[in-house]
Structure 1
Amino acid sequence: MGSFRQAGTVVTGHRFPVPLDHDDPDGPRIEVFAREVVASAHAGRDDLPWLLFLQGGPGYGSPRPSGREGWLNRALSDFRVLLLDQRGTGLSTPVTARRVAALGGPAEQARYLTRFRADSIVLDAELIRRELLGDTPWTILGQSYGGFCVNTYLSFAPEGVREALVTGGTPGLAAAAEDVYRRTYPRVAAKNAAFYDRYPGDIDLVRDIARRLAGHDERMPNGRRLTVEGFQSLGLMLGMGDGADRMHYLLEPAFADGGPELSEVFLQQAGALLSHTDAPIHIVLHEAIYGQGSNPTGWAAQRVRDEFPEFAPDPDDRDPLLFTGEMIYPWMVADDPSLAPLREAADLLAEHDDWPALYDPARLRGNDVPVSAAVYHDDMYVDFELSMETVQSVGSARAWVTNEWEHDGLRVSDGQVLDRLLRMSRGEV
């Protein structure tokens, strides 16, 4: 794709052909895209070390840079940065409902989708590293799900890693999906409480919106009906540093048209947040990021929800209506017009009972690659206790525990989180 300049940087796009199935290197191939970013002042340096950035998700492309800003600005002081569009995302060979549906029946679709987890992402990265760096290892930085990928990398290809940095993404190595969600619901309830404490006037507003949705057919611009459960799932944003404020401003114009109907502005904004046309992987493979061995994930978030009746979609309950968080439910596939063609494949993935291991606990115990992890004490998405158990079981790993930042600390800290992790890795703190 050639190179172009932004403010203080030179950006170069790369495309890499990789096997769909790394166990079948001569079989079908897909393409992985990555964007190299280097500070303008360092553009001619061949000795500049590389940093691979692994994005959160799963199912989202890497950040689109705009010059030297945020954490990238800090990274570019020391590194040549590679922003990887993990397979199936961004400009890599895309996973879309239409493309996957064309592969055949639900079984063929599900089989194809099993190739888009962390194990395949890590093997893609190793092929790319060897093409760009030869035998030289690189620094890897994982945000959220990218941190899960970091632990997979250290399990199966530690020779490719010079140092590992993780922010808000240290997984429980043996935690099943139901274990994760059983821990997640109480944390989400706490975020709801904090939201309503900040905006007590929204308790009645949320209830009024839910009552309207329960009794009337309110449609978003794409024609999809907004249900109470769909409305509750907007709570995904509550785990971010500005999540409570964003939720308040989303709700504020709900009845701005002056009648009993929900406003067009509110329905448009809700529709944009609930659509996963651009990231079907995030829905159909989300629970699969916890799949290892012979235990199906089985729509775990839906099953475990029954243990937490306070999250029931009941607009007439006397308590505040609770938003859900990063929980994936079967209706998210069935109700979204852009995902509905994958409904049967998603059910097969939920029943899948032959997932390869994503982590090697024994190898991680003997790890000698320096690992520095930011563990956010109040993280809504990644369980604090599971993260700490993992840090304590991985050789050469250190944790920085903080409640100064939420899950999005890397993005919003203007480089402070990354700087702290780098200084930890270098023994400066």
Structure 2
Amino acid sequence: MSAVTYRRAGLVARDHVFRVPLRHDDPGAGEIEVFGREVVAPGKEDQALPWLVYLQGGPGGKAERPLSTSAWLGRALQEYRVLLLDQRGTGRSTPANRQTLAGMSPAEQAEHLSLLRADAIVRDAEVLRKQLVGDEPWSVLGQSFGGFCALTYLSLAPEGLRQVMITGGIPTLTGHADDVYRAAYPRVLRKNDAYYARYPHDAAIARRVFAHLAEHDVRMPTGERLTPERFQTLGIQFGQGSRFDALHFLLEEAFVGAELSDTFLRGVDAVVSFAERPLYAVLHEAIYCQRTASRWSAHRVRAEFPEFDATSADRVNFTGEMIYPWMFEQDPALVPLREAAELLTAKDDWPPLYDLDRLRRNEVPVAAAVYHDDMFVDRDQALASAEQIGRARVWVTNEYEHDGLKASPAVLDRLLAMNRGDV
């Protein structure tokens, strides 16, 4: 383990690089690096503060970069030493992408990628805990997919946890990926309803853009074609309060005369490209798989919702957190991983991620924020899962969207109070 320390306004940070087994069940199979950034409030560097580990959403999302003491981080630093963990395969941890996997066969790529799920992330965290804290347990804050990881943590190593806080991240514990997307498509349609209710004139612009893309070979600044179906994926922004209006501001500058503007195309590329987060696409359905294969679940289930067929529907409806096989033909960051993705979507021997018996007998305090209108995580599935977790308390709110943790310090403050028994 190596560490580098530096200061900036509002925080003191120490960068840690750890070596962990690629396969925790086979330490002789090689090692990878896992990066964690320790953050503490100025003046508290030498205090014996409790540790709080932040598990980022994703899959494939690197930890938040503390450009400022954001809503949740500022609140956490009042009483914790925070570890911002780059989950394996992301950020400054040993990356997994088209460049680093280029020398492997598709089968080898798929095997490597299969080792980057929540179970391995939890085992990495336990290695880090023992090196940083010793035998003391620490607290975990899981946002979105980070909440999935937190429940895997409770299943595999509850002895390492003092308390758990989850925001927008309680998954179905037993459901198939098909169940996830069957519930997701109607939620995304409701977000489209809300969007067009706010910006009714955007319906005509979206239709014009879609038709233009169908008739012309339009290239984004990076050179790849912007297709109509890729344009529809801009709806992924609808699930975040901070980004709900972003599509409107893109569309209002969509055209320069009869052509799509560079401003629009650059803005679209920033949203639809997976260059910065390829694991989000590669592993997105795998995070739900336990002894089952997904077989391109979102793609198959979409056929049950003709509202997303913009060639025949009354309006262009945008999709959300769905991954489709054609993305691995159109996105240059994903094309080299296409065969590996096919192998992963057919894989049917994924190990379990949750120990239902251990979760029922759980003694670690768990506080979770469930967002009533969350586009990414189904409310009803989350509440059904929470009922199966001992000592879990749930706060259901429609005050925030999926990114509520970053929107207000009140979210983390409420969860801490719930675990203390103050509310």
User: TM-score w.r.t. structure 1 length?
Assistant: 0.97
Matching of residues 28-427 of structure 1 within 5 Å:
28-45=30-47, 47-103=48-104, 105-255=105-255, 257-258=256-257, 260-293=258-291, 295-314=292-311, 317=312, 319-413=314-408, 415-427=409-421
How far apart in 2 are the matches of 1:272 and 1:247? 12
Q: Percent identity?
A: 56
Please list the CA deviations of residues 139-162 of structure 1 after superposition, one character each: whole Å capped at 9, or x if unmatched. Answer: 000000000000000001000000
Asked whether the 8 Å contact 2:70–2:406 carries over to 1, the reply is: no
* Equivalent position SS for 1:2: strand
Please list the CA deviations of residues 113-168 of structure 1 after superposition, one character each: whole Å capped at 9, or x if unmatched. Answer: 00000000000000000111111000000000000000000001000000000000
How far apart in 2 are the matches of 1:69 and 1:404? 18
User: TM-score w.r.t. structure 2 length?
Assistant: 0.98
Give the partner amino acid of 2:197: D
Give the partner amino acid of 1:417: V
Asked whether the 8 Å contact 1:18–1:32 carries over to 2, the reply is: yes
How far apart in 1 are the matches of 2:369 and 2:244? 22
Q: Which deviates more, 174-183 or 263-272?
A: 263-272
How far apart in 1 are the matches of 2:297 and 2:243? 25
* Structure 2 unaligned blocks of 5 or more: none
Give the root-mean-square deviation of aligned CA atoms: 0.9
How far apart in 1 are the matches of 2:330 and 2:259? 21
Asked whether the 8 Å contact 2:242–2:403 carries over to 1, the reply is: no
Query: Offset of 1:318 from its aligned partner?
Result: 5.6
Please list the CA deviations of residues 254-276 of structure 1 after superposition, one character each: whole Å capped at 9, or x if unmatched. Answer: 01x22x11111111111121111
* Equivalent position SS for 2:99: helix
How far apart in 1 are the matches of 2:218 and 2:68? 42
How far apart in 1 are the matches of 2:410 and 2:95? 33
What is the match of residue 9 of structure 1? 11
Please list the CA deviations of residues 364-421 of structure 1 after superposition, one character each: whole Å capped at 9, or x if unmatched. Answer: 00001000000000000000001001111100000000000000000111x1100000
How far apart in 2 are the matches of 1:249 and 1:120? 40
Please list the CA deviations of residues 29-88 of structure 1 after superposition, one character each: whole Å capped at 9, or x if unmatched. Answer: 00000000011121111x210000000011111011134332101000110000000001
Please list the CA deviations of residues 163-222 of structure 1 after superposition, one character each: whole Å capped at 9, or x if unmatched. Answer: 000000011101111100000000000000000000000010100000101111111011
How far apart in 2 are the matches of 1:372 and 1:69? 21
Query: Offset of 1:243 from its aligned partner?
Result: 3.1
CA 5–67 in structure 1, closer or farther in 2 if over 3 Å, else same: farther
Structure 1 runs of 4+ aligned residues shifted over 4 Å read none
How far apart in 1 are the matches of 2:269 and 2:184? 25
How far apart in 1 are the matches of 2:69 and 2:316? 42
CA 138–318 in structure 1, closer or farther in 2 if over 3 Å, else same: closer
* Equivalent position SS for 2:300: helix
Q: Which deviates more, 265-274 or 153-162?
A: 265-274
Please list the CA deviations of residues 216-259 of structure 1 after superposition, one character each: whole Å capped at 9, or x if unmatched. Answer: 1111011111111100001000011133311100111001x22x
